[in-house]
Amino acid sequence: MVEEGDLKLWRDAGHVARRALEAIKDEIKPGVSWNAVIESAERYIHRHGGKPAFPCTIGVNDIAAHYTTDHALTKPGGLDGEMVFEKGDLVKLDIGVHVSGGIGDNAITVEVGNSNTHTEQIKASKEARDASIEKMHPGTPWHEVGAAAEQVQVDAGFTPISNLCGHQLEIFDLHAGISVPSFSCGPDHPSFKGVVPENSVFAVEPFNTTGEQGLVENVPPRHSSNIWRITGDISVKKALSKQKLKPLGATMARYLEERYHQLPFAERWAYPLLEKPFPNENEESLQSKWNALTKKLINIRFLETYHLLRCADGGMIGQFEHTVWIAPGGAEVLTIE
């Protein structure tokens, strides 16, 4: 629920997020690296009064979501070419911004080089998002929101992704409990019970595919996204008192907690921290220390990580996303310029 006086934070975050998306999409051109676009987006956010609510993510062709580059620019598993945009690529650009914890989360799908190969899929993705938002009046059953998204996509000849959904947002919380269906889940689906609640904020993001299964799958290893998050399950103080952390690990954990709260962060943001206590270590040694530290923080449930998500049967993926606030008269789109 949006606390009185906080709505301005959400609107400000939405404005910065949308301006960043509109500015950076024009940088997605043949020959440009994925990392150049990702870092440009994050710089734009900082220059315009926000902070990233999560690392800028890029999904190319069958990659659906949850991918950002790491510090070493390691290619994701299964990618044959280089991390460089090619003419005809179908690219999802997902940008999130927070202003004092209020979050704007939005995404767009573009085709590299404007070869008009994916025009209909891009159109269907955008219209599915908008159809969902039009249904999001207080009291509307969630299954009607999902059915609206599916109808648009099926009518256009595409399959909705059924194991990805939109999500509720709260201050410093990207996935706050309630999920937004993007397919015709029916009134008895256990994950989408209830109705749209007034005075709440949601990220609405239907995905579709040219494949038939309508599913995404995890790409190994478990940290293939290069994105991490503090779980909130255990505090640094408690971990130290139970001797689950050594002083260096506790120092790193405190830094991550103070800087990112429980919002997702990039490996390439946190990795350079190791260079301060170990200035003379080579890359191999630093990587070994990072692996040991993150393994420990995961084992004590302080950290969790995300898999990169890819279409299960190799279909091309489309997605559009807005953040909305549920006003008494319906959904107000917050991610607008």
- What is the residue-averaged pLDDT of the chain? 96
Looking at residue 96, its pLDDT comes to 98
* 2 compared with 159, residue with greater pLDDT: 159
* Cβ neighbours for 331, distance < 8 A, ≥ 6 positions apart: 133, 134, 136, 137, 202, 204, 324, 325
β-bridge pairing 57-60 and 51-52: unpaired
How far does CA 144 lie from the centroid of its chain?
A: 24
Average pLDDT of the segment spanning 264-278: 93
Sign of the CA dihedral with 276 first, then 281, 284, and 285 last: negative
Q: What is the second-level CATH architecture of the domain 7-221+314-333? A: Alpha-Beta Complex (3.90)
Rounded to 10 degrees, the C-alpha dihedral 294/296/299/301 comes to: -70
Give the whole-angstrom CA distance, residue 75 versus residue 308.
Answer: 12
| CA proximity to 227, closest of 43, 53, 47 | 53
DSSP code at position 161:
P
Confidence class for position 337, pLDDT limits 50, 70, 90: confident
- Tell me the pLDDT tens digit for each residue of 73-113: 999 988 989 999 999 999 999 999 999 999 999 999 999 99
Q: Which amino acid is at 86?
A: E
Rounded to 10 degrees, the C-alpha dihedral 115/119/122/123 comes to: 150
Give the whole-angstrom CA distance, residue 57 versus residue 68.
Answer: 5
Whether the bond into 206 is cis, omega within 30 of 0:
no
Q: What residue spans in the chain does CATH classification 3.90.230.10 cover? A: 7-221+314-333
- Tell me the pLDDT tens digit for each residue of 9-50: 999 999 999 999 999 999 999 999 999 999 999 999 999 999
Average pLDDT of the segment spanning 258-283: 93
